[in-house]
Structure 1
Amino acid sequence: MSWQLGLTVDRESRLSLAVQVRNSLRDLVEDGTLWPGTRIPSSRQLALDIGVSRSVVVEAYEQLSAEGYLETKRGSGTTIAHRAQPDTAGSTLVPPDPEPAAGAMWDLRTGTSNVVDFPRQEWIRCVTGVINDSGRLELGYSPPAGVPLTRRVLTGYLGRVRGVRSRPEDVMVTSGFAQGLALVCKVLLDRGHTTLGVEDPGHPGEREFITSSGLRPVGIPVDEDGLRVDLLEESGARAVLVTPGNQFPTGARLGPDRRERLTAWAREVDGYVIEDDFDSPFLHRNDRLPALQSLAPDRVVYAGSASKALAPALRLGWLAAPSELMASIEHVRAGWDIGCSGLEQLAFTRFVDTGAFDRHQRRLRSEFHRRRQAVRRQAATSLPGSRLLGGDSGLQAYLRLPGHVDERALVRAARARSVLVRGGRFYALTDTSRPPALVISYATVNTGGLIRSLMELGSVYRELTT
């Protein structure tokens, strides 16, 4: 199949080739040029058609799959996904909301990052220092698993701040969390897994991503103590993706007893736990437990990234996996690409080594704590009867509403008042019996904006409940 739509890339653009390909394809989907079900070329064929390396197209396809634009089925190739909208019947698998934030005054939807506070000057100093100090070795190809120095520094850093028990040779630098998840899914598929347990409620984009990898996501209900491990044991799955430190989106923390039971389950079924530690930089000491991986380094794949703490554009993520699993992950990676940008890895290494990353995270924790407290105070006034779940830190607030509230009507009416927000049902896979809720991200809205947007939500809330 050749590409007939005239998709081109500009090699003098400030955007990377992968970002250009991703943006172009996304535009073709959103403007109706490419309809759901349309088959698109393989990554190899598209790379030949537009004159780029296959790794560029693979990265673009992976990101679009994670965002719900593409889906891959074994034997059928890659097609444009059917991006269903929520309806009154209640879809069980809703991809991320494709409606842009343009025109809205406040965007409280999850999936955003606080790039306004990106530490530009400190990052520039690190990049400049790396370039000035780089010789032939640093400017050449680095191993696909990552620059050795970066892997060593990451190993020490993760051990220091998260209690991760690993070795540099068992740490891989990835192009964000999405690529790390894709690699693990491919290895699981190769080893005979057909399903992957996921938290319910959980991240809709990740479920779409897992489906596109060839695995079937199996929803495991979450309560106020986190994942129901007893129901995981009954599911038949032998691997599970979890956010134990701060469950997305409810904010529940997986307690010590369930952590022990979860790692024991993994050993009993000869399976694995994938730990998505997506927002640990934003958790205060009282809310933060050591990584689940520290309990079972032989059964837990620890995954993180710089997307939330720094910027998604850096495409820097990492995996710390059991040795025997990492060997398989490296084998798969070798067939996909030739690694991430070595210069960006070294800049990040210096950023960590100089303490700049720690300082930046402390600033963010303080700011996000203020925002969460603003949500807590204003919700008590504007949304009487609501309850904020979870601790006192994190990236989003899960507001449980009284049972009589029409969640969908509230979300629709809020949009009419220039407030974009998602209801709890948006994140459900099969567990649609949960009480109504709002999930409020404060990653990109400051304290003043949060107060004003919640006041608007309060006006809608009163209209619907009186």
Structure 2
Amino acid sequence: MSSNGQAAWELLLPAVGAPARRRGRALQEALREGVRSGRLAAGTRMPSTRALAADLGVSRGLVTEAYEQLTAEGYLRSDRGAGTWVGDAVRGRFTDGGDDRDGAGGAARARGDGDAARGGGAAAATDGRGGAAARARGDAHGVGGAGTRAGAPAAGGGGAAARGRGDGDAARGGGAAAARGRGDATDGRGGAAARGRGDVHGVGGAAAARGRVGVQRPGGGTVVDFRSGTPDLSLFPRAAWSAAHRAVLARLPHPELGYPDPRGLPELREALAAMLTRRRGVVADPERLVVCSGVAQASSLLGFVLRARGFDTVGVEDPGSPEHARLFASTGLGTVWLPLDEEGLRPEPLAASGARAVVVTPSHQFPSGISWSAERRAALLDRVRAVDGYVLEDDYDGDFRYDRAPVGALQGLDPERVVYAGSVSKSLAPGLRLGWMLVPGALLDEVVERKRTMDLGNPVLDQAVLAEFVTRGGYDRQLRRCQRAYRERRDVLLAALAEHLPGTEVSGIAAGLHVIARVPKDFGPPERFLARAAGAGVALRPLEEYGTARPADGDVRLVIGYAHLAPSALTAGIRRLAAAVGGSDGGDGG
């Protein structure tokens, strides 16, 4: 075997010893780590799947699947007839000669700051650099919490308390002033749509959620609501969550109920970092993980930091979530729509836009459902490196893929340029308002300080319960439960569309909680289709509401959510829709 093949063989040996059910994932993790660490350098030719499988003593299919997965994520590249090679998209602490871009000392100092903050006393009052991590436990009045010196001025020249009040006001009220003109107020914890509009990717909210059970509400006009954005809240694991809550209350030390580290409870950050590394292929240092109130707050935090750094524009996907633009607008940033094609973000419009920051959903693009190609992932990273910019990766439903393992996160390719954000809104419930962001070292102190002045940190008890739930395996079990339920519902929806609206083309079915349905023009035009649907009590959102494109072909393009509806409600709803618009009529479904 060649030296390159021998290197790969040695690197992957530990993965072979993993239990059979985890061997495939372990092999993929080992390959990712080999590329990131530089042990598999860019341009290295990988052994053939047959040769590597023979050397490792595993099935060829296992190696083929690993190669395909890492090729999709951008770690490897495959040229037809020429073999598989290590790609050159990866950048970061491990491949750039140890440059962690922290500017203030990296993870080791962050850990020291965190220890000082957790340990309390005068040491926590300052880290000698004005670092946000060590200012962890002061309250809004600057007079202390568990780890702040009583009467000490807030770190950062004594103005932090004033800035805290100003920033908090900006986020909760003043920052919402810009949003008020658009009708999209942002609360202090990133809830641009939490109260009235749901999460970043749907119309949700309490009022909308109440109408999503698939039956007629007393005095209401909606019979079935196909709008996306809300999971099935009846799947929330009440018993397991309650057990975790009791366990936490029984063991949580009294001091932990004081003002928290604004980054989040250390045990939760450690649990999330391990889980995200395992499930999403990210580079997750717990000291760079910030617990926040969902992706909405992560967007707001990043927006404020970028604005303070002189950024003026953020690029958003077209089509994409309208909430991204609204959230960044509330921080003072302008937005520019960037068109997509079947491979992802088109490089030319991105370059022409002048935007140095971009928010994307590359693993399962919202709402189109595509998974970005490895080439487009690499092109985006090349662009932000060239302009000293950043990417916000919104991994809103990365765990819900039904045909194969989820495509790994973009952040793993360059953790110093990609801010990775996710939440439990789809896997557990949006009402928990729990999420996370992995922050590049160069931005960490600024993000943490902004989080501190915004809300002093997320509730400790909620964080401790989630940590307990994750470490005890409850989160993985919940994901498996949801995946089974949502796969079944997707299949029911596809069958109903084929039967009652024949000729409908459906895309984006491999993952997520919604599909894109392109209904033939025979059922249109779109305005009449939507009007008839609404008249029949069927709530829908057309694809055009998510972007700027207005196709002139007359077809009706719909974003149809299915996760929140029971299988029977899905069938009845499509039957009702078909009857209203002139499809195959099976009754009104009422």
Q: Is the 1:108–1:440 Cα contact (8 Å) retained in structure 2?
A: yes
Q: Partners of 1:438 and 1:276 in 2: how far apart? A: 22
User: Where in structure 2 are the equivalents of 1:218-367 lying within 5 Å?
Assistant: 218-284=336-402, 286=404, 288-367=406-485
Q: Is the 2:169–2:175 Cα contact (8 Å) retained in structure 1?
A: no
Q: Decide whether aligned partners of structure 1 residues 338 and 97 sit closer, same or farther in structure 2, where only a CA change above 3 A counts.
A: closer
Check if 1:452 corresponds to 2:566.
Answer: no
1:453 is displaced (CA, Å) by 0.7
TM norm structure 2: 0.62
Q: Is the 1:408–1:423 Cα contact (8 Å) retained in structure 2?
A: no
1:69 aligned residue: 183
Q: Partners of 2:181 and 2:400 in 1: how far apart? A: 23
Q: Partners of 1:268 and 1:166 in 2: how far apart? A: 24
Paired amino acid for 1:444? H
278, 282, 286: which is aligned to 1:160?
Answer: 278
SS of the residue 2:479 aligns to: helix
Q: Partners of 2:490 and 2:174 in 1: how far apart? A: 34
Q: Decide whether aligned partners of structure 1 residues 65 and 278 sit closer, same or farther in structure 2, where only a CA change above 3 A counts.
A: farther
Q: Partners of 1:243 and 1:459 in 2: how far apart? A: 35
Q: Partners of 1:268 and 1:56 in 2: how far apart? A: 32
Q: Partners of 1:140 and 1:289 in 2: how far apart? A: 39
Q: Is the 1:163–1:294 Cα contact (8 Å) retained in structure 2?
A: yes
Paired amino acid for 1:333? K
Q: Decide whether aligned partners of structure 1 residues 403 and 219 sit closer, same or farther in structure 2, where only a CA change above 3 A counts.
A: farther
1:287 is displaced (CA, Å) by 5.7
2:532 aligned residue: 413
User: Gapped runs of 5+ residues in structure 1?
Assistant: 1-43, 48-52, 73-79, 82-94
Q: Work out which of the two has the higher radius of gyration on C-alpha atoms and give 1 or 2.
A: 2
1:3-50 Cα shifts (integer Å, max 9, x gaps): xxxxxxxxxxxxxxxxxxxxxxxxxxxxxxxxxxxxxxxxx9xx9xxx
1:152 is displaced (CA, Å) by 1.2
Paired amino acid for 2:501? L
2:560 aligned residue: 440
Q: Decide whether aligned partners of structure 1 residues 68 and 393 sit closer, same or farther in structure 2, where only a CA change above 3 A counts.
A: farther
SS of the residue 1:186 aligns to: helix
1:412 is displaced (CA, Å) by 1.8
User: Where in structure 2 are the equivalents of 1:88-167 lying within 5 Å?
Assistant: 101=211, 102-167=220-285
Paired amino acid for 1:266? V
Q: Is the 2:403–2:510 Cα contact (8 Å) retained in structure 1?
A: no
1:50 aligned residue: none
SS of the residue 2:454 aligns to: coil
Q: Is the 2:541–2:560 Cα contact (8 Å) retained in structure 1?
A: yes
Q: Decide whether aligned partners of structure 1 residues 442 and 289 sit closer, same or farther in structure 2, where only a CA change above 3 A counts.
A: same
Structure 1 stretch 300-309 or stretch 281-290: which is displaced more? 281-290
Runs of 4+ in structure 1 displaced over 6 angstroms?
59-62
Q: Decide whether aligned partners of structure 1 residues 460 and 60 sit closer, same or farther in structure 2, where only a CA change above 3 A counts.
A: farther
SS of the residue 2:455 aligns to: coil
Q: How many residues align?
A: 394
SS of the residue 1:333 aligns to: helix
1:65 is displaced (CA, Å) by 5.4
Q: Is the 2:226–2:538 Cα contact (8 Å) retained in structure 1?
A: yes
Q: Partners of 1:96 and 1:308 in 2: how far apart? A: 13
Q: Is the 1:287–1:393 Cα contact (8 Å) retained in structure 2?
A: no
Q: Partners of 2:556 and 2:308 in 1: how far apart? A: 39
Q: Is the 1:138–1:342 Cα contact (8 Å) retained in structure 2?
A: yes
1:438 is displaced (CA, Å) by 0.8
1:398-449 Cα shifts (integer Å, max 9, x gaps): 1123356322321221111111111111111x22237530111112111111
CA RMSD of aligned residues (A): 3.1
> How many percent identity over aligned positions?
36
1:373 is displaced (CA, Å) by 1.2
Paired amino acid for 1:278? Y
Q: Partners of 2:369 and 2:480 in 1: how far apart? A: 20
1:51-99 Cα shifts (integer Å, max 9, x gaps): xx9689829987x959963358xxxxxxx99xxxxxxxxxxxxx95999
SS of the residue 2:291 aligns to: strand
Q: Decide whether aligned partners of structure 1 residues 242 and 54 sit closer, same or farther in structure 2, where only a CA change above 3 A counts.
A: closer
1:176 is displaced (CA, Å) by 1.4
Q: Partners of 2:180 and 2:457 in 1: how far apart? A: 19
296, 320, 327: which is aligned to 1:202?
Answer: 320
SS of the residue 2:574 aligns to: helix
Q: Is the 1:373–1:392 Cα contact (8 Å) retained in structure 2?
A: no
Paired amino acid for 2:546? Y
Q: Partners of 2:333 and 2:171 in 1: how far apart? A: 22
SS of the residue 1:220 aligns to: strand
1:427 aligned residue: 546
Q: Decide whether aligned partners of structure 1 residues 352 and 55 sit closer, same or farther in structure 2, where only a CA change above 3 A counts.
A: farther
Q: Is the 2:364–2:511 Cα contact (8 Å) retained in structure 1?
A: no
Q: Is the 2:168–2:453 Cα contact (8 Å) retained in structure 1?
A: no
